[in-house]
């Protein structure tokens, strides 16, 4: 075969440092748009972005030469800088870690819908409980001390 064909989709989740509710409603949409641009700047494809005042969800398509840790480092760094400089949020920071879950092509629509429904979803479930649910469903071992 002379070509490479890929379908690499990731559901990325990360929160503000110490899960502080720093992402205000009045600029949340602008942050999501900035994150989409940051993903595009790395050569990735932002497919859905959403979240709440203390965390974000991104559905992204990546290329074979992308390194997930590098992509996340770059978009988190750029968006923190944006929050400081553009929004004047000097205390804004992301947590060090993140969740990254692969998404099959058949589930992309479902994940997009999930991301779009964050406000409704979090009326019933905390971010902590949501994240633990993701870890369990994905078979990821974790230590509660580091959540």
User: Tokens at residue 112, please?
Assistant: 């997009």
- pLDDT tens-digit readout, 46-101: 999 999 999 999 999 999 999 999 999 999 999 999 999 999 999 999 999 999 99
Tokens of 126: 């905390």
Which whole-number Å values give the CA distances from 125 to 29, 68, 86, 89, 128, in the listed order? 22, 28, 31, 27, 8
The per-residue pLDDT for 134 is 85
List the domains of the chain with CATH numbers.
9-146 (3.30.70.1290)
Phi-psi sector, 45: left (phi>0), alpha (psi -120 to 50), beta: beta
**pLDDT at residue number 144:** 85
Handedness of CA 87, 94, 101, 119 (dihedral sign): negative
pLDDT top residue among 145 and 141? 141
pLDDT for 56 equals 98
Percent of the residues in the chain that have a pLDDT greater than 90, as a whole number: 82
pLDDT score at 6 = 86
Structure tokens at 96: 């060090």
pLDDT given for residue 122 in this prediction? 87
């Amino acid at each position: 075969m002379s070509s490479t064909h890929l379908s690499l989709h990731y559901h990325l989740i990360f929160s503000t440092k110490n899960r502080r509710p720093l992402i205000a409603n009045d600029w949340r949409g602008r942050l999501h748009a900035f994150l989409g641009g940051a993903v595009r700047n790395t050569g990735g494809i932002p497919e859905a972005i959403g979240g709440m005042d203390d965390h974000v969800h991104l559905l992204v398509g990546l290329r074979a030469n992308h390194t997930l840790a590098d992509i996340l480092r770059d978009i988190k760094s750029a968006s923190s800088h944006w929050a400081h400089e553009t929004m004047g949020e000097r205390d804004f920071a992301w947590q060090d870690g993140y969740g990254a879950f692969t998404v099959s092509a058949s589930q992309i629509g479902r994940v997009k819908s999930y991301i779009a429904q964050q406000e409704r979803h979090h009326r019933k479930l905390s971010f902590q409980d949501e994240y633990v649910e993701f870890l369990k469903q994905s078979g990821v071992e974790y230590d509660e001390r580091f959540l």
